[in-house]
Structure formats: C-alpha cells, structure tokens
Structure 1
C-alpha cells in the first residue's frame, strides 16, 4: 500500500456538537488522537487537507448553524491553505464542489477519517469509491454511536462501526488502520 504525495486527507464533522452527551455511547475513544496524528502528518508532508463541516437543516441538531455545536473543535480548526467543505447532507460530495476541487488538483487518492462511521463517513466513502477515487477509510480514526437497527434491535457503537466498515471494505474503499497509513 502506498500513500500518494498528493493524497487528500478528508476530515469529517469534527465539530463541537459531536461531543454532545445526548448522542449517546460511542466507540473508539482514541479516534481523535489518531485523527490528529494523521492531520499533523499531512501538514508536515504538505499534502492536501479538506475539513468537512455539517450545517444541519434541523434546529434540534447539534450542527444547527448559529450555535456553538456547528463550530469546529479548537484542535481541528482548518489551517491556512486547507479546504473547507460545508455540507447539508451526510455525503461530503453532494452539492459541495469537493469533487471539482479534487479533480482540478489532480488528486486521485483519499484518506477519510471522522464521524460518524455509519453516517457521513460511510456516505462520503461510498460516493468517493463510486467516482473512482482510490479511497481509504481509517478504522481507528473514525467512530460512531450506539444505534438500533430497522427492526428495533439495539447495537453497540462498536457493532455499528464494524458493520459500516464491512459495508465499505473491498467494494467502495479499503479499510486500514492509522498505523498502515502512517507507515505507507
């Protein structure tokens, strides 16, 4: 496995609202540390970074514009020259200009991290794969929350995370660990 010199790091929804207790139990307590390691590596190696910010349609959302939850966490503030992608739906490619920016920059490889694994991460990775990007999802730099399935059966955040990664791996993306990415 090889990380291209211009591979883009796509950092999804690292906003203050994602830390709200009402979202419930989550998995991967070290995910933010892995995200920050990757972000620092991308900055050191002058690779492109895109910070994805969700702007909700719902006033009940932790990402409703005009309140603190929509703002980036301090440790994940976009740096100078890094791309800001604002989305209104889980998929970071939908009506955002992300694909145009990547194509114009000649970027063919994406490394996706962030939240929530089963929602915005999975939606974005599916589209990236469908668009033909060499898409990597970093399993230990993503996390999600407990969720009931369609039939009302509750699943732990780790189970939801594992199923989402299983949906992606081999079809839309390659699922890897941060150690693999940093060593590649």
Structure 2
C-alpha cells in the first residue's frame, strides 16, 4: 500500500494583529472583530500545543504616520497576541511578511514547508503574504474566520468589508491557499492532515455550471 502523505511542517504566521484594527483608524468590520480575535487566540494556542512555531508579524510606519506609527497605541500588538507565547517576532514596512524581513530564511533554516496565515487584513497583508509564500514554493493555509477586512470606496468603485473578504477568500482557494476555518484546521492538526486548495480551472467550471443550472436547481461540489 502507498505511504500516506507526510504531514506538512507548519509555521503559524500571525499577521499585524495590532490595535489599529481594533480601536484605531482601520477597525475590522467583517468578520466581526471579536470573532476573528477569538479564533486567532485559538489558532495560536493550538499551534503552541502542537509544537508549531508561531511567528508574530508587526506592521510599522514612521512616527507621525496616520497608521501604524511606531510607538503609538495603534502600532502596538493587540493583547490577544501580545499575551501569548511566540517563537519569532518580526517587523515589516511592506504588505508581505517576507519582504525585507528574513522570514524566508528563518523558515528554511527550520525545514518548514507550509505556513498558516491568520490576522489582518484579508485583502492586503494576508493576501500579499500568501502569494509571496506560494511563489516561494510553500504550502499555504488561510483561516478565513481568523482574519478580516474593512470597506473601501475610491474612483474604481466601492465594496463592503464582507464582499472584499469573501471574494479574496474565494480567489485564494482557487490556487494560492487552502482556505478553511479554525475549527477545521485544529481538526487537521489532531489528524496529522492538511486541507486542500482548489484549482483555477475547477473553480471556473464550477461557477459556469452553477450559472447555467435551472432556477431552483442545485449543483453539488466537494468540500475544500
């Protein structure tokens, strides 16, 4: 019989869980902040219990900047993260946790081949970090209920926080990351397994099939 697939060697990346997103100028709206913080808390505790390294990432800007000004209350880590053990801390000035931080080298030195992403924001630093990790050949997981978004409006249009969060999660699952919930991820840890990501082709074909189905009909698809 073939050998079962080897469980990934994970690190948990806790992205920018800072006061700016809780009480500052970028308050997370969807999913509700209390829910995502609770799930970030659970993911960190589960990772620590499973021996998975926890990497805490902190966004920084120059003093006086409107967001994440170094030393300000908004820049400080939220208590949920600040109060929990971590294996590595890094400061970044760009969206990706890999950009200019040495994170890639830190992971390689520990033979880590998979990263699980939680934190803020889904469409900005999470998305950029996920795609950077994917391009680097890492397996990526994204906990969609341990992250969140804010609404935007600009000359290109407008979108609610729910729309932004949902659409980015769908796109990530189509190729870049296995998108799952904190409950399912913790279950995978216990079982020594990993959630699966989808493909662009399958995601597109499934959407076409749903669009062409008779009104009131149902199209089934597997759980991912």
- Secondary structure at the aligned position of 1:69 is classed as coil
Structure 1 residue 6, shift from structure 2 partner: 3.5
Structure 1 residue 43, shift from structure 2 partner: 1.1
Structure 1 residue 22, shift from structure 2 partner: 3.1
Pairing 1:1-184 to 2, within 5 Å after superposition: 4=7, 6-23=9-26, 26-29=29-32, 30-57=35-62, 59-77=64-82, 79-80=84-85, 82-148=87-153, 151=156, 153-184=157-188
Cα distance per residue 1:144-184 (max 9 Å; x no partner)? 10112652x22110101012112322321111111210111
TM-score (norm 1): 0.90
Cα distance per residue 1:53-101 (max 9 Å; x no partner)? 0012473333110212111112211755510011001110000000000
- Secondary structure at the aligned position of 2:25 is classed as helix
Structure with the bigger RCO (C-alpha within 8 Å, sep 6+) is 1
81-90 or 69-78: which moved more? 69-78
Equivalent position of 2:211 in the other structure: none
Structure 1 residue 5, shift from structure 2 partner: 6.5
Structure 1 residue 111, shift from structure 2 partner: 0.6
TM-score (norm 2): 0.75
Cα distance per residue 1:19-46 (max 9 Å; x no partner)? 1353256101111111111101111122
Cα distance per residue 1:116-138 (max 9 Å; x no partner)? 10100000001001111010011
Q: Which runs of 5+ in 2 are unaligned?
A: 189-224
2: distance between equivalents of 1:54 and 1:7?
22
2: distance between equivalents of 1:16 and 1:143?
14
141-150 or 77-86: which moved more? 77-86
1: distance between equivalents of 2:162 and 2:68?
23
Q: Which runs of 5+ in 1 are unaligned?
A: none
Over alpha carbons, which structure has the higher Rg? 2
Structure 1 runs of 4+ aligned residues shifted over 2 Å read 2-6, 20-25, 57-62, 78-81
Q: How many residues align?
A: 182
